[in-house]
A and B are shown apart, each in its own frame.
Chain A
Amino acid sequence: MNEISRTRRIWGLLTPATTIIAVFVAWQLLVTGLHVREVILPAPSEIIQALLSQPAWFAQEGLYTMATMLVGFALAVIVGILLAILIVEVKLLESTLYVLIAALNSVPKVAIAPLFVIWLGTGYGPKIAIAFLIAFFPIVIDSVLGLKSVPKDMLDLASSMRASQLAQFWRIRLPTALPSIFAGMKVGISLALVGTIVGEFVASDHGLGYIILTAQGTFETAQIFAANILLGAAGIVLFWAMSALERRCLPWHASQRQEV
Chain B
Amino acid sequence: MSASVQRAAPAPPMIDTSLPPIHIAITDTSKRYGAAGVLALDRVSLTVREGEFLSILGPSGCGKSTLLRCVAGLERPTGGEISVHGETVRRPPANMGVVFQRDVLLDWRSILDNMFLQTDFRGEKRSRYMARAHELLDLFGLKGFENAYPTQLSGGMRQRAAICRALLADPDLVLMDEPFGALDALTRDQMNLELQKIWASARRTILFVTHSIGEAVFLSDRVVVMSPRPGRIAMTLTIDLPRPRRMAIREMPEFAHYCAQIRTLFGEMGLLKDE
Contacts and interface: CB of A to CB of B under 8 A. Distances in A.
A59 interface: no
Contacts of A252: 107-108, 149, 151
A156 B94 contact: no
Contacts of B149: 252
A157 B106 CA distance: 11
Interface residues on B, range: 20 to 34
A163 interface: yes
A151 B108 CA distance: 15
Contacts, number: 57
B98 A160 contact: yes
A67 interface: no
Contacts of A156: 69, 72, 74, 98, 100, 104
Interface string B102-127: 10101110000000011011100000
B204 to A, nearest CB: 15
Interface residues of A, number: 21
Contacts of B102: 151, 153
A157 B117 CA distance: 10
B133 to A, nearest CB: 16
Interface string A225-260: 000000000000000000000000010111001000
Interface stretch (A42-50, A79-87, A167-175, A215-223): A167-175
A159 interface: yes
Contacts of B108: 175, 250, 252
A37 interface: no
B108 to A, nearest CB: 5
A158 interface: yes
B121 A171 contact: yes
A153 B104 contact: yes
A163 B104 CA distance: 15
A160 B106 contact: no
Interface in B81-114: 91-92, 94, 96, 98, 100-102, 104, 106-108
Contacts of B151: 252, 254, 257
Contacts of A154: 104, 106
B80 interface: no
Contacts of B94: 162
A151 B104 contact: yes
Nearest to B118: A161
B100 A153 contact: yes
A153 B175 CA distance: 14
B79 interface: no
Contact of B106 (A159, A162, A167, A175): A175
Nearest to B100: A153
A36 B122 CA distance: 73
Tell me whether chain B's interface is mostly helix, strand or loop, or mixed. loop
B100 to A, nearest CB: 5
Contacts of B107: 252-253
A159 B92 contact: yes
A158 B100 CA distance: 12
B100 A157 contact: yes
Contacts of A153: 100-102, 104
B10 interface: no
Given A151-B104, A257-B151, A160 B121 contact: no
B137 to A, nearest CB: 19
Most chain B CB inside 10 Å of its own CB: which residue of A151, A157, A171, A172: A157
A124 B217 CA distance: 74
Contacts of A171: 106, 117, 120-121
Given A154-B104, A157-B104, A167 B121 contact: yes
Q: Which 4 A-B pairs have the closest CB atoms?
A: A163-B121, A161-B118, A160-B98, A252-B107
Interface of B: 69, 72-74, 91-92, 94, 96, 98, 100-102, 104, 106-108, 117-118, 120-122, 149, 151, 175
Interface of A: 151, 153-154, 156-164, 167, 171-172, 175, 250, 252-254, 257
Given A162-B122, A254-B151, 14 more contacts: A153-B100, A156-B74, A156-B100, A156-B104, A157-B98, A157-B100, A160-B92, A160-B96, A160-B98, A161-B121, A164-B121, A167-B121, A171-B106, A257-B151
27 contacts: A151-B102, A153-B101, A153-B102, A156-B69, A156-B72, A156-B100, A156-B104, A157-B98, A157-B100, A157-B104, A158-B117, A159-B73, A160-B92, A160-B98, A160-B175, A161-B92, A161-B117, A162-B91, A162-B122, A171-B120, A175-B106, A175-B108, A252-B108, A252-B149, A252-B151, A253-B107, A257-B151
